[in-house]
Structure 1
């Protein structure tokens, strides 16, 4: 799929990739015919597994890699042959890339000195950048005296200190522990909202992408599989890869038996018949993967709202505080997960119990095989 439902207005596209390809060996394409418009002021995340092409796209935009074919434009001007230091783009890397022999203030002043700003202007901008990342008292510290989170804040401040209109971030939180990573996600998101700069962010962490982004481009095999806002990407995945990569997802396999308008009936491999939303299948006889989120499944359902109801055997229960992750054997799958809200009631389900599970047709998406 060439991507992306993105017919933006010309004056709205801050960055534009047109028919961009990249090959390192002259044969295998790491990026295939990329067409992507990045809106001015948005936070766009390039998300995907290792080797999917997302980082290569970022490196081509930064100027560290050259496209094999196609064009890349910034503010309507082609930048294919412009060297990295002349593109005016801020960069933040996973390894911080701070100069160890310079103080925090000197690290922040470096890109300003390269641009030959006056001393007073440099001091004012460094001060403002440190306040922005809530580190005004750390100017005289050396990088080695900072924690990982503090070093990453300085790296973000350095990328923003010369007031670029575009900032690229390559897995910037990958080296941090879970709590610090989550804290930094919110801080970077708030900085983006306050400054209004365009951010292009690369990660393989789907929860990070959902938390921070205005839009997410999901990459696989050098192609954007889907480009959408986080709620749409999670609730309405367009194919089986996106459904499996974004969030936890139950998969059931079968063959389309009937298809009518937006609905279809899929005969699963164990013989069960499931009513589903017809998303990425054409008609009867076609193989399909059914996608169903664990939080959309109900145990002991009541009423006609759940046309899909089956007996299931409870295989595993994991207590996770706000919900119980319940793994059941149903419809031929022993890896089917139900997230049961923890209401603190007695008489909980136990391993080995047989329960009734159900879900609506609208929450079950018939996707490609």
Structure 2
């Protein structure tokens, strides 16, 4: 699956959208994407993958070279940003330093010619929404980074927009505060029923917050799916490597039987895997296996392999073990830190195994 088809009742639609800055190189390539009202969709990908360009085209700060962008069924390609009824939250907050918090929130309401009493009521409600009701008289410089981001968020919500766009909004915050704000934004989304398009390069952020995630690379959506499906069932090697930690074994397809494929590995051994995105016998493939799907055990099976323990890292709830498996020194196994699991020692030989359905045969990188 590359992207969902454009549908009649979609809230936001990208229909065959392309973007080029120089007239030659396409930054966004033939994008078709639909999202429903009230959905939280994250555009995830490395720098230069096209995700921020898509957000800027939706906001109206960039113009599509080709194709249509629609909001509630209405084409918005030529509508200026301030008439699109879209709230924006940026990484750098973009607050006016010479205005108080209340004045910052009141500004988009003044632009919309709203009366004073209505403005005051909406500003109070928006500040209370992010637990900042007592900070209305302060200026941005008197607030911490987390407080400024809350104000930027409330300013984006104050005029009840039909859509809220967020461009790396938590990138400037420290890890603990960033994680806290992830849950706050997700709860606001759920409580208010707002539609959110969120851009990030942080995969854990995308998995935590989203209803669906569009994984971008090279100007295209590689996979569009709910977080659990992206992680458990990646469509190709890029998604498997970009989302979460992943073990990869390269090899050659020997034969296929139904949904399973037998792959010959560089050390001459074989591995049975789920045929997801691989070619016919004789073609190269990459097998993707999640570290938590591998068991340290002496039990025999189609995918039992000898392993040498190279490194152990204690991480509280689990031990991260780096092993040599089928000649791969970077093979990771996550062993739960609980009773009943084998105590491993660096340098020792052991056995590991995994189920056929947990090994996905994908396209070679």
TM-score of the superposed pair, with normalisation by structure 2: 0.98
Structure 1: segments with no counterpart, 5+ residues: none
Inter-partner Cα distance in structure 2 for 1:224 and 1:269: 32
Aligned to 1:358: 353
Superimposed CA distance per residue, residues 102-140 of structure 1 (whole angstroms, 9 cap, x where no aligned partner): 111111111001001111111110110011101111111
Give the 3-state SS of the residue equivalent to 2:11 in structure 1.
strand
Structure 2: segments with no counterpart, 5+ residues: none
Provide closer, same or farther for how the CA distance between residues 79 and 95 of structure 1 changes in structure 2, counting only shifts above 3 A.
same
Shift of 1:366: 0.3
Shift of 1:282: 3.1
Q: How many residues get paired?
A: 364
1:127 pairs with 2:110: no
What is the Cα-based RMSD across aligned positions, in Å?
1.2
Superimposed CA distance per residue, residues 49-87 of structure 1 (whole angstroms, 9 cap, x where no aligned partner): 000000000000001011111111111111101111111
1:336 pairs with 2:331: yes
Aligned to 2:177: 180
Aligned to 1:163: 160
Aligned to 1:309: 304
Aligned to 2:12: 15
Superimposed CA distance per residue, residues 311-356 of structure 1 (whole angstroms, 9 cap, x where no aligned partner): 1000100000000000000111000000000016797211101010
Shift of 1:229: 0.3
Is the CA contact (8 Å cut-off) linking 2:247 and 2:288 kept in structure 1? Answer: yes
Aligned to 1:118: 115
**What does 1:30-109 align with in structure 2 at a 5 Å threshold?**
30-109=27-106
Is the CA contact (8 Å cut-off) linking 2:255 and 2:263 kept in structure 1? Answer: yes
Inter-partner Cα distance in structure 2 for 1:283 and 1:172: 44
Inter-partner Cα distance in structure 1 for 2:197 and 2:298: 43
Inter-partner Cα distance in structure 2 for 1:301 and 1:179: 40
Give the 3-state SS of the residue equivalent to 2:356 in structure 1.
coil
Find the partner of 1:322 among 317, 320, 324: 317
Give the 3-state SS of the residue equivalent to 1:169 in structure 2.
strand
Give the 3-state SS of the residue equivalent to 2:357 in structure 1.
coil
Shift of 1:45: 0.1
Is the CA contact (8 Å cut-off) linking 2:6 and 2:33 kept in structure 1? Answer: no
Aligned to 1:216: 213
Give the 3-state SS of the residue equivalent to 1:182 in structure 2.
helix
Give the 3-state SS of the residue equivalent to 1:362 in structure 2.
helix
Is the CA contact (8 Å cut-off) linking 2:318 and 2:334 kept in structure 1? Answer: yes
Give the 3-state SS of the residue equivalent to 1:35 in structure 2.
strand
Shift of 1:286: 1.3
Inter-partner Cα distance in structure 2 for 1:8 and 1:60: 17
Inter-partner Cα distance in structure 2 for 1:345 and 1:32: 51
**What does 1:167-246 align with in structure 2 at a 5 Å threshold?**
167-246=164-243
Shift of 1:160: 0.3
Aligned to 1:284: 281
**What does 1:243-282 align with in structure 2 at a 5 Å threshold?**
243-282=240-279
TM-score of the superposed pair, with normalisation by structure 1: 0.97
Inter-partner Cα distance in structure 2 for 1:347 and 1:301: 10
Provide closer, same or farther for how the CA distance between residues 345 and 261 of structure 1 changes in structure 2, counting only shifts above 3 A.
closer
Deviation larger for 343-352 or 230-239 = 343-352
Give the 3-state SS of the residue equivalent to 2:125 in structure 1.
helix
Is the CA contact (8 Å cut-off) linking 2:279 and 2:285 kept in structure 1? Answer: no
Shift of 1:192: 0.4
Superimposed CA distance per residue, residues 255-301 of structure 1 (whole angstroms, 9 cap, x where no aligned partner): 00010110010001121100000000132111100000000000015
Shift of 1:8: 5.6
Inter-partner Cα distance in structure 2 for 1:361 and 1:129: 51
Inter-partner Cα distance in structure 1 for 2:230 and 2:263: 23
